[in-house]
Structure 1
């Protein structure tokens, strides 16, 4: 890895970390979701500070080249993130469905109460 590429990776990772922290402060990103991105930035910083580490990990993983190892690792991390997001989406869809059903039942109950009160008023006027 060239020194220029190492410096660029460090600068971009640090800028990404600051951007994530700013989004958390602005309440535009939840802390649980930001942990993944902060970890990803940290890994890039570690790889750029210690360029031999990806080579060692690639050798331990049994990949032919370091680039193949990095692609494999990034794809794996993104698949795990997608799975986590799918779980959260399913939970949110279930909550939305439950809330919609509760709102519909509440409106139906209020409609029945309104009809009952109208009938009482009408019957009182007729008496």
Structure 2
């Protein structure tokens, strides 16, 4: 792994960590999401500090370049995060539909009681 990529990984990990901490302080992110992003930042830092780790993983999986291995791992992690968020959005949409129905029923019942 080139020195430039290692430095880029370390700078990226530090920037990500700072952004997550700032988001936590401003209450823009839930703690469970923040922990996932902090773990990703830690993984990025580990890959930057210990380039033998992605090289070892790349060797086991038969991937020629450690840089490709790093990108592959993070693409997979981000896809899992996106899938998790899609599940949450679907659940929230279902809850909104249920709540809207309950509000409509209660409003209709209140109108009937007033008459």
Whether the TM-score (by the shorter chain) exceeds 0.5 is: yes
**Relative contact order higher in (CA < 8 Å, ≥ 6 apart):** 2
In which range does the TM-score fall when normalised by the shorter chain?
0.7 to 0.9
Show structure 1 runs of 5+ residues with no match: 116-127
Distance (Å, rounded) in 1 between the aligned partners of 2:31 and 2:15: 18
Match of 1:83 in 2: 83
Alignment of 1:36-51 (within 5 A): 36-51=36-51
Distance 1:71 1:16, change over 3 A: closer
Establish whether residue 114 from structure 1 lines up as the match of residue 114 from structure 2: yes
Match of 2:25 in 1: 25
Match of 2:14 in 1: 14
Give RMSD over aligned pairs.
1.6
Q: Could you state the TM-score of these two structures normalised by the residue count of structure 2? A: 0.88
| Pairwise CA distance, 1:32 | 1.3
Number of residues of Structure 1 aligned to a counterpart in Structure 2: 114
Show structure 2 runs of 5+ residues with no match: none
